[in-house]
Amino acid sequence: MVSIGFRTAGLAAALACALSSGVVQAQAITIEFPPGTLIANGRWEVMKIVQCGLKSDWGYTECSFEVWREGSLVGGGLRRMEDVQLLKQLNSVRETQGLLPLTRDQASGRAPYPEAAGAPAQGPAAPADVAPGGAPTGGNVRYAPIPPTQYVKTNPVAPTPQGSSAPCPKTPYVELPGTLPANTALFRQVLESGHTFQRSAFLWTGVTFESVSVGAPIKNKITMQPGVGPRRVTDAAPVDTLLYPVRSTYVLCHQYSSGPDRTRVQTGDYCFVSRTGKWACGSDSSVAQRKTTPLG
């Protein structure tokens, strides 16, 4: 878990004050982002806000985060930035999800989000195989509804694209509560969503699994390692939580305006219920580094 503070000086107010009284006085402006907000940090990582709180004594908002990289929960770090820049990055993520940009009041919770008011989305359209309420609209992908708007794939093995010029499938991003039972279909969805909320130059992302296997769960125990000290099996998960080892091979497809770019990925992860009560997956360090093979 990480903590991060944001503080911005009201430059216009300061200049006005300086002109009228000769005294420059900055006014703090804070943004309190709701839990679950996704923010790209420009290094192929995405920060997901867990909780924010206003530090009235210091005049800034402090937020705890999870940090994700290449579909895996990797922990976090300490960072500060101007809230204007943070809002810009937040809206860049929303743009890739087909959502309207937020104002400062909407981002801080003082006004409803555009989608809450029924405003139409913009950008990439919803996946063709998902209909309102989770009903399948065709193909071999079926969804079981989880109220109010979440879905779990029950048989999400999509057909292999015919030729490298075929467009990428559009894989949706969902959050899965930790109350759902552990199973292979759920872990596939968690691994997919680790890729689909990441922001970059591509238009959308598709994930097509070729194989998935799940081993017997183990506990995230702390052990003493000679010359190193106490270590958990994975720092991304809480102590003593159950870790499910997942070995998978899938095709990761990024759709650019110029066409698709596909890579076959072979990797190992631990899937678990995170500190926020949601299912998450993080890299398994006992497995050799993930193998990637460009497919064009």
pLDDT at 32: 59
Regions of the chain where pLDDT drops below 70: 1-34, 40-45, 52-62, 69-72, 76-86, 89, 93, 96-97, 107-110, 115-164, 198-200, 286-289, 296
Scan for tokens 């969902």, then name that residue. Answer: 174
pLDDT at 55: 57
Give the separation between CA 183 and CA 257, rounded to whole angstroms. Answer: 36
On whether the pTM is more than 0.75, the answer is no
Give the separation between CA 52 and CA 159, rounded to whole angstroms. Answer: 42
- What is each CA distance from 225 to 88, 232, 286, 287, in whole angstroms? 43, 10, 15, 18
pLDDT at 200: 64
pLDDT at 103: 79
pLDDT at 59: 52
CA angle 179, 150, 65 (to 5 degrees): 70
pLDDT at 105: 72
pLDDT at 172: 83
Give the separation between CA 5 and CA 18, rounded to whole angstroms. Answer: 27
Scan for tokens 């509560």, then name that residue. Answer: 177
The two tokens of residue 7 are 């503080």
Could you tell me the residue ranges of all domains in the chain? 2-117, 132-294
Whether 137 contacts 126, CB under 8 Å = no
pLDDT at 157: 45
